[in-house]
Amino acid sequence: MDCKERILSDKYVEFVVDFPVEIARPQDNDICYISLGEGYAVFYENLLLANSRWGGPYHYRYTPKLYGLMDLQSPQSGAAKGKDRMAGEMTAAQLSQEPFDPSALIASGILGVQREPLNLTGRGCIICFIDTGVDYTNPVFRREDGSSRILAIWDQTIQEGTPPEGLYFGSEYTREQINEALQAQDPYRIVPSRDTQGHGSILAGVAAGSRLGGGSVYLGAAPEADIVVVKLKQCKPYLREYYYLPEDVPAYSETDIMLGVKYADSFAVTFKRPVVICLGLGTNMGDHDGNSFLAGYLNRIGGRRSRTVVVCGGNEGNASHHFFGQIPVESGRADGYRDVEVRVGEGMRGFVMEFWGTIPDLFNVTVRSPGGEIIPPIRLGVESETTQGFIYERTRITIQSVLVEANSGEQLVVFRVSQPTAGIWNFRVSAASRLHNGSFHLWLPITDFLTAECYFLEPDPNTTLTEPSMAYGVLCVSAYNDSNNSFYLESGRGFARMGQIRPDLAAPGVNIYTILGRRTGSSLAAALTAGAATQFMQWAVVEENSLLAETTEVRNYFIQGAVRSPQRSYPDREWGYGRLNLRGVFDVLAGVTSD
C-alpha cells in the first residue's frame, strides 16, 4: 500500500506531531508521513498499530481537531444549515437583478483606496482560500479577456489527477488547465473541481471578485489579485464518530487544513510574491489560548516576510457553548465547588466537552445525570482515561484527564458523553488541592457539530472566539453590521483564555452582498479583511514601501487606522481595537487626522 492509499484509507488514522519523524516511525514501516516544515509533520498509521503504540487513535495532543464553516445566519443544527444553504442559492437567483451594494467595502475603507491615487487592487499579490473550493467558471474570477485569475486549485477530494509535489493525494489544476476548461463546451471534463457548498466561492468573491461590466456589476476588495484555492476533503469517518458529528455537516480535519496552509505558502516561494491566506473555519475544541498545532503552524507561516494570515472569530458568541467558573479562594481552602449545568435535548447522539483549569490549581469534576445517578470525582494522574456507565440510563461517559496538557501546560479533562439522557446534566467542579486562582473554563462543540440542542444554562458570552483565532501570529476579526455599526451578536468575543487581546478588529459580516446572495457570518468579515490585507501587501511589498511586511506588521498598521468610538474603551472583547478602515491606515501614514 503506497502513501496515497494510506492517507485515504479509513483503516488508517492520522496524527499531527511536532517531533522528529524518526522517533515515531515504527520498524515495520506501515506508516506514511508528510513533513509540513517548521517542526511539524502529519502521520498516517494503521489503526491496529496505533492502538498498540499510542493506546488508541484518540491521544488528545495528536488527534486532529475538526473545523466547521463559519457562515451561520443564526445558531442552528447541521441539518437546518444545509437547508439554509439551498435557500441561499435560491435567494441568489432571485437577487440576480439587485444592484451591487458596496456598503461593506465603503465602511471598511477598501473602495476608497482602490481608486486614484493609490490604486490598490491587489495587483501582484496572491490570496489563498482553504475552504470548500471555488466555482472557477464564475465570471468574477476572470480577467476582462475571459482568462482565469486563479493560479491553481488543489482539490483534495479528486484522486484521478496529479497531486501537488510532496503532498501525495488530491489533484492539482493549474491556470493553464483552468483556461483550457473555460474554453471547452464542458469545462468540468477538463477540470472537474466544483464547490458544492458555495462557502469557498463566496469568500473568494468577497475578498477578490473582479469588476464586471455589462448588465451586472460585482466587486471584491482585491479584484486584481491572483487566487489560489484548496478544496478540503471531508474528515475521516472515525473522527466524525469520535466527535459525534451529524452525518451531513461539513467537517474538516486539522491535518488537511495544515497541508492546505503548506500548499498556499509555497506560492510565495515559487512566484516570489506576497501571499495572504484566508481561513473562514473554526472550532470550539482546544485551549482557546493559541496552543493548538494549527495555531502554532499559522504563527510560523504568518511570521514569514511577505505573508499575512487572516482568520475569522467564529459565530459562537450567542450559542451558550462556553462556561466560565470561579471557586472562591479565601484562605485557599479546598472545600469550595461550582455547579455547571448543561441542558441536553432529545435525540442527542453524543457530545464532547472540554474542561480547562489554570496552573497551579487542581480540580475534580463530579457528574450527576438527569436521573440523579452520580459519577464520583476521578483522581487525576499524569494522563488517564476511564469509561463510566449508569444503572438506569443508557448514557456512557468516557473521561480523559491530563494533569499537564503538553501544548498548553494546563489541566485538561475531556468528557465524551454517548447517548446522553435528555434533561439537565450537572458537572460539579471542586478543588482537589489548595487554590491560587480558582478559575476554569468549559466549552461545548460549535453549533453545527451538535445533533440536538446542547448548551450551558449559565453561559459566558466572552472567550467565545473559535480556534485558531487565538494564535498570536494571525490577524483575527469579529463581525459587525455596517448598516448601523452594531456588533453582530452571534460573532465570537474575546479575549483569549489567558487574557491575550483577541480579536484584533471587527469587520462587516452581516447581510454582505455576495455572488450567492446576501450572507452573514464572521467568515465574511475575514474575507473582507483578507482582501484589505492583499491591497496593503500590494502597497507594502509589490510597490516596495515596506518590503519586510508580515502578519504582525499588517495587523499593527490596521490597528492604527481602525475607527474607534469615543464612548468605548479599547481593546474591547467585541471590537478588538476598532472597526477595519483601510483608508484610515493611509490617512495615518499621510499624517491626516480626524480631529
Same domain for 501 and 400? no
- One domain for residues 509 and 370: no
422, with CB counted inside 10 A (0-12, 13-18, 19+), is middle
Look at residue 175 and tell me if it is in a domain.
no
How many domains does the chain fold into?
A: 3
pLDDT tens for each residue of 532-581: 999 999 999 999 999 989 999 999 999 999 999 999 999 999 999 999 99
Same structural domain, 435 and 326: yes
Please give the distance of CA 211 from its chain centroid, rounded to a whole number: 28
Q: Does some domain include residue 416?
A: yes
Segment 518-527 shows an average pLDDT of 97
Q: Do 312 and 327 fall within a single domain? A: no
User: Who has greater pLDDT, 370 or 595?
Assistant: 370
Q: Is residue 250 part of a domain?
A: yes
Sort 173 into a burial class: Cβ within 10 Å, 0-12 / 13-18 / 19+.
Answer: buried
For residue 84, is pLDDT > 60? no
pLDDT at 29: 63
Q: Is the pLDDT of residue 346 over 90?
A: yes
Residues 482 and 514 in one domain: yes
Same domain? 339 vs 434: yes
Tens digits of residue pLDDT in 152-180: 999 999 999 999 999 999 999 999 999 99
- Pair 229, 285 in one domain: yes
Q: For 244-264, what is the mean pLDDT?
A: 96
Distances (CA, A) of 194 to 188, 223, 396: 8, 21, 40
Is the pLDDT assigned to residue 456 strictly greater than 80?
A: yes
Which of the listed residues 443, 478, 502 is the one where a domain comes to its end? 443
Q: Is 585 part of any domain?
A: yes
Q: How far apart are CA 207 and CA 512, in angstroms?
A: 12
Domain final position from 389, 412, 443: 443
Asked whether residue 9 falls in the same domain as residue 27, the answer is yes
Q: Which of 120-129, 285-294, 333-342, 488-497 has the lowest mean pLDDT?
A: 333-342
The CATH number for 265's domain is 3.40.50.200
Does one domain contain both 311 and 330?
A: no
CA quadruple 517, 523, 526, 530: dihedral sign: negative
Task: Give domain status of residue 62, yes or no.
Answer: no
CATH number at residue 378: 2.60.120.1290
Phi-psi region of 451 (alpha: psi -120 to 50; beta: other; left: phi over 0): alpha
pLDDT at residue 332 above 60? no
Which pLDDT belongs to residue 594?
59
| Residue 142 within a domain | no
Same domain, 482 and 398: no
Looking up cell 445517578 gives 373
Residues 53 and 76 in one domain: no
Same domain, 540 and 476: yes
Residue 47 lies inside a defined structural domain of this protein? yes
Range of the domain at 489: 69-130+225-317+466-590
Separation of alpha carbons 485 and 487, rounded Å = 7
- Integer Cα distance of 116 and 121 in angstroms: 11
Which uninterrupted H or E stretch holds 455? strand 454-456
Whether residue 161 is contained in a domain is answered as no
- The yes-or-no verdict on residue 406 having pLDDT over 60 is yes
d(CA 572, CA 570): 5
Looking at residue 331, what is its pLDDT?
54
| Cα dihedral 535→536→541→546 (10° resolution) | 160
